């Protein structure tokens, strides 16, 4: 599955716009992760525990978006974006979305 953040694919024509495809995941902080990250907050530096958590969430949302596009019969996804929102303190949603298309 070709996925692009731009609205076109160089050298290819969009022959059919299928519609929006999306994948989302909601992740909550883990007590152990939260404890280690709060210690890091005291001394400074990257909170690698949270970085890893968010990277895994993005990958899962991305994979779900691709699977949705495949179910729709798409060849590619254009205009792909990620968005994040806080659901509750300690939990965030990652949404991957784009336009499912067929290419020539």
> For position 41, what pLDDT does the model report?
63
Q: Rounded to an integer, what distance in angstroms lies between the CA atom of residue 98 and that of residue 90?
A: 27
Nearest C-alpha neighbor of 77 from the set 89, 64, 88, 66: 66
Q: Is residue 69 very low, low, confident or very high in pLDDT (cuts 50, 70, 90)?
A: very high
Residue 13's contacts (CB-CB under 8 Å, 6 or more residues apart) are 103, 104
Calculate the average pLDDT of the chain. Answer: 89
Structural domains in the chain plus CATH codes: 2-103 (3.30.110.70)
Secondary structure of 47-86 as H, E, C letters: CHHHHHHHHHHHHHHHHHHHHHHHHHCCCEEEEEEEEEEE
Instruction: Please answer whether residues 93 and 25 qualify as being in contact, where contact means their C-beta atoms are separated by less than 8 angstroms.
Output: yes
- Residues written for the chain: 104
> Which tens digits make up the pLDDT trace of 12-44?
999 999 999 999 999 887 655 556 556 656 666
């Amino acid at each position: 599955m070709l996925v692009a953040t731009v609205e076109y694919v160089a050298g290819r024509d969009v022959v059919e716009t299928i519609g929006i495809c999306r994948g989302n995941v909601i992740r909550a902080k883990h007590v152990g992760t939260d404890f280690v990250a709060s210690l890091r907050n005291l001394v400074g530096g990257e909170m690698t525990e949270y970085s890893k958590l968010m990277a895994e969430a993005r990958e899962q949302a991305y994979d779900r978006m691709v699977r949705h596009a495949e179910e729709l019969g798409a060849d590619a996804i254009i205009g792909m974006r990620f968005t994040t929102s806080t659901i509750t303190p300690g939990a965030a949603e990652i949404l991957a979305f784009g336009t499912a298309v067929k290419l020539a």
